[in-house]
Amino acid sequence: MKNILFVASEGVPFIKTGGLADVVGSLPKEIDKEYYDVRVFMPKYSCMRQEMKDKMEYVTSFYMDFDWKSMYVGIMKAEVDGIVYYFLDNEDMFNTWKPYTDDALFEIRRFAFFSKAVLSALPNIDYRPDLIHCHDWQTGLIPVYLKERFQDNPFYRGIKCVMTIHNLRFQGKWNVQDVENITGLSGYYFTPDKLEAYKDANLLKGGIVYADAITTVSPTYAEEIKTPYYGEGLDGILRARAHDLRGILNGIDYDVFNPETDQRIPYRFNAQNFRKEKVKNKLELQKELGLREDEKVFMIGIVSRLTDQKGFDLIAYVMEEMLSQDAIQVVVLGTGEDRYENMFRYFDEKYSDKLAANIYYSEDLSHKIYAASDAFLMPSLFEPCGLSQLIALRYGSVPIVRETGGLKDTVEPYNEYEGTGTGFSFSNYNAHEMMHTVRYAESIFYDKKRDWNKIVDRGMAKDFSWKKSAGQYQVMYDWLIG
């Protein structure tokens, strides 16, 4: 049996702000249980739902030196769907009303603490990982501490480390002096070949430098991040480690995202009966959100964090033109930057029968949108993988995407001459290029309904479950652990 420990800052069903949580909550379940014992470690946030906290039981606690203080480290444990989860408990660090705060220095402190505490906890939980699988900058210090500070203790020798990049934009950066103080790492570590990048300390870079292997969440993004345009300043180190870097496509949980059994949607459907059944979800959603009730209108869904990553500048640029001229309905669900939230609120006021802005987080509504919409718009500036378009495909909502990162790897552009493709795509980050693509999709929807339905057929027939990708992770684990 090989022990693989996932360490991450969020994971379904305990806490979620985005796709990282979906991955951490679903991939461990798909790794072969006969050969691997996969467990997950994450912070115990006070903002977790009480129902989830009630599942946790106390394991142990101790005090650890950190940031010149002796800090409490509590370990809790829960088992869900056959996976053991550990939680790191410290009220000073994780008593926040959202999982992440806007205080960059505090974020560095709490996740540096988390990284050191997870390693320190290992000898006390009766589970020695053969490999630690780290996710995103919040865990970037784990490979650093593991390969350096913890090597004095034989317990840690030989433990391998993988660093998975879900989003290169977030790196955990702060000035070197503070980070030296907080982490207790000496000046030796803060040079450009280790944790320093552009004069700052950079936690993700630490993870990239010290991990045994690096992965990211799609093959195209793995190539893109080696270029200055997508490299977020770390393309140099990623090129240097290109041999140890690979892209493994994310999957989605096919039990959770299944239109045939989904209890969150009013009318369930499948690949055989979607032509009749799916539209009932549209009518129901129009009623619920106060949109004009019309089963024939082209409904575009958007479920997303409202950040520039997701291409909202393009949408903002042409929204007025499209809402005033096109026979469309737009249903938005998301939270994020004020400028985008306000943009959608404005259009909701102005075109109340055409656009519904839902500026909040709701698992229920997200499923209803995937089930009801005809198309799903995701014109990202960059996209490491993207799960929303995979969910959309499974619910017969045709993705309209920009050809970048995982969107390029998962959505095959419609070719009307060959009768192939599962969605619509455009290549340049240009608002009118996006608009023309949406209008092209509209024209197929309105004028060639049979062809449209075949696009849906092909999309629903695709398999984006974890099966294949879990296999690729296992090959990598075996290669590293031997």
CB of 146 to ligand GLC, least distance (A): 23
Residue 35, C-beta contacts closer than 8 angstroms, at least 6 positions apart? 1, 2, 474
Using the minimum distance from each CB to ligand GLC, give the nearer residue, 206 or 405. 405
407 is a site residue for ligand ADP (CB under 6 A): no
Interacting span for ligand GLC (CB under 6 A) from 39-47, 182-190, 368-376, 378-386: 378-386
**Three-state SS at 318:** helix
Question: Would you count residue 386 as binding ligand ADP (CB under 6 A)?
Answer: yes
CB 392 within 8 A of CB 441: no
**Rounded least distance, CB 385 to ligand GLC, Å:** 4
361 binds ligand ADP (CB under 6 A): yes
Question: Could you tell me the maximum CA-CA distance found in the chain, to the nearest angstrom?
Answer: 70
Dist. CA 426–CA 424, nearest whole Å: 7
C-alpha–C-alpha distance, residues 460 and 115, integer Å: 40
In the block, residue with structure tokens 């739902």:
49
Stretch that binds ligand ADP, among 13-21, 103-111, 456-464, 470-478 (CB under 6 A): 13-21
CB of 89 to ligand ADP, least distance (A): 26
Is 341 a binder of ligand ADP (CB under 6 A)? no
Tokens of 183: 């982490």
Stretch that binds ligand ADP, among 95-103, 270-278, 331-339, 459-467 (CB under 6 A): 331-339
Cα 118 from Cα 133, distance rounded (Å) = 12
Which backbone phi and psi does 4 adopt, to 5 degrees? -120, 120
Given candidates 40, 387, 401, 438, which one binds ligand GLC under the rule CB under 6 A? 387
Q: Convert residues 248-287 into a mask of x (bound to ligand ADP by CB under 6 A) and - (unbound).
A: ----------------------------------------
Q: Does 385 bind ligand GLC (CB under 6 A)?
A: yes
First CA to last CA distance, the chain: 12
Which amino acid is it at 216? T
Would strands 200-202 and 196-197 be described as parallel, antiparallel, or unpaired?
A: antiparallel
For ligand ADP, how many residues bind (rule: CB under 6 A)?
19
For position 167 contacting ligand GLC by CB under 6 A, the verdict is: yes
Q: Between the CA of residue 213 and those of 5, 210, 399, what are the distances in Å?
A: 15, 9, 32
**Where along the sequence are the contacts to ligand ADP (CB under 6 A)?**
18-20, 22, 303-305, 333-335, 361-363, 366, 385-388, 391
Residues that bind ligand GLC (CB under 6 A): 18-20, 23, 166-167, 217, 250, 383-387, 406
